[in-house]
Copies of this chain bind each other. A is one copy, B any other.
Amino acid sequence: MTTYRQFATVSAIALAGVAAAFVLAVQSELASAQMAGSGPARITDDNRTSIPEGFREWVFIGAPLTPNGLNGGAAGFPEFHHVYVEPGAYADYKRTGEFPEGTTIVKELVLLKEAAYEDGSRDEASGRGYFADRFAGIDMMVKDSERFAETNGWGFFNFGHHEPPYAETAAAAPNEACAACHTANATHDMVFTTFYPILGRK
């Protein structure tokens, strides 16, 4: 027959179990909410990866613009560069000022609406300028200091500079394709932080 003391012990264990289950549920749900349903890129053993789902809902950091009209009709990265950081890495950056291992940054190219002037600009209600029309390419960089030591700690991936659908997977690019230019010109840890005022660096 169950004694009073036995019942109390079983009850306490049950309570603790319920509490632990809820704590795990909170942590798991919070993590997925913060990741906007996606999360950082996962790299395979042969250094390939795919475009994380939901990256357009990540934290936007800036939109440098290199119009074809100002680059002999064919900019290297036509034309807006919409740049996003995975929210978990952004939260770490905000706290520490550094990009943590695994940081995933996506740059989506966006073509302009048809030009009215040779420089690629046109007139709209807000003035003469540059206005986005359609998505046209994805580049991505992922920080992994050991795996990508040869390209200064980041892997660089090109999923095509063309309208969607983009390539389903891409292999890490050789140093001369992307990393060399970032090594030579980027302002902090391979990222052009100077163009992204939200990052708080000049």
Residues of A within 8 A of B (CB): 4, 7-8, 11, 14-15, 18-19, 22-23, 25-26, 29-30, 33-34, 56-57, 59-60, 62-67, 70-71, 75-77, 80-82, 84, 87, 90, 110, 113, 119, 121, 124-135, 181, 184-185, 192, 194-198
Contacts and interface: CB of A to CB of B under 8 A. Distances in A.
By Cβ-Cβ distance, the 3 closest A-B pairs, closest first, are A60-B60, A22-B22, A63-B63
A67 B132 contact: no
Given A26-B29, A119-B119, A75 B129 contact: yes
Contacts of A198: 56
A90 B36 CA distance: 12
A197 B132 contact: yes
A131 B23 CA distance: 45
Contacts of A11: 7, 11, 15
Given A4-B4, A22-B19, A33-B30, A130 B130 contact: yes
A60 B61 CA distance: 9
A180 to B, nearest CB: 11
